[in-house]
Amino acid sequence: MSDSALLVDVTGRTFDLADNDTLHAVGRLRFALPAHSFTCIVGPSGCGKTTLLRMILGLDSGFDGSIDHSGKGSVAAVFQEPRLLPWRTVEQNVRLVLPDDRREETLDELFDVLGLQDMRAFYPNQLSLGLARRAALARAFILQPQLLILDEPFVSLDNATADRLQQLLLTLWHSHPTTALMVTHDIREAAILADRVLVFSNRPAHIMDEITIDTAQHQRDEAMLGQIVQRIAQVVKSG
């Protein structure tokens, strides 16, 4: 794998349907994630983006090909729903994923960054959706993962809350280096976060284009973001 944190070489994924029909969900997908990179996947609804993430996470093994990230460290995931245990506090939810030898580790720095210090003893039903998603980010980053998988973690949030969480995610990614792979329907979100964007086709998914963004995230002004969004949108439209 050389310097790659993940190597995907999938030749296809099909699902058996009723009446002996078959759904060809994913076609040929081959790409590598360089260590400490941030890659976003965009593409039409139902094209196989989440199916690919499930395959990477080991939740779906019925594909043809290979996915290699074994032996290179832990994997953490943040999903559309925060998936916090309702009977545990924010702090308990975060500590729950830690191995026994790290259970008493301080969470102060992480909670400070995410603005969760005053919510440590709150239960999930006492949190707004935005705060619950901050807790989900804390739970993922406390693992110090080698690979971070994000499946539309900011979907359905208002623009201001989503913008704030995007910046918090970038802050954590820079201070706690990891290799990130994120699915999003929001092209602007991809332009803000990613240093590379993979544009998927309609089902069965294949990569239509790979767009590299050389400018550091904090140096992208509105004019540049507009140019990146336009470039991604043109590829999406061509599919």
Residue 125 lies in a domain: no
- The residue assigned the tokens 């998927």 is 200
**Residue 173: which CATH number?**
3.40.50.300
What percent of the chain clears pLDDT 70, i.e. is strictly above it?
97
Q: What tokens does 153 get?
A: 């973690």
Q: Please, which residues have CB within 8 angstroms of residue 120's CB and are 6 or more apart in sequence? A: 89, 90, 91, 107, 111
Residue 54 lies in a domain: yes
To which H or E segment does residue 159 belong?
Answer: helix 159-175
* Structural domains in the chain (count): 1
Residue 17 lies in a domain: yes
pLDDT of residue 70: 62
Q: What is the pLDDT of residues 52-110, one digit of tens each?
A: 999 999 999 999 999 998 656 789 999 999 999 999 999 999 999 998 889 888 999 99
Residue 137 lies in a domain: no
Residues facing 78 on adjacent strands: 150
Q: Exposed, middle or buried: residue 92 (CB in 10 Å: 0-12, 13-18, 19+)?
A: middle
Residue 38 lies in a domain: yes
Q: What is the pLDDT of residues 189-214, one digit of tens each?
A: 999 999 999 999 998 999 999 999 99
Residue 141 lies in a domain: no
Q: Is 24 helix (H, G, I), strand (E, B) or coil?
A: strand
Residue 83 lies in a domain: no
Residue 203 lies in a domain: yes
User: Residue 23, Cα to own-chain centre: how many angstroms?
Assistant: 25
Q: Please, which residues have CB within 8 angstroms of residue 121's CB and are 6 or more apart in sequence? A: 89, 90, 91
Give the domain extent around 19: 4-73+146-238
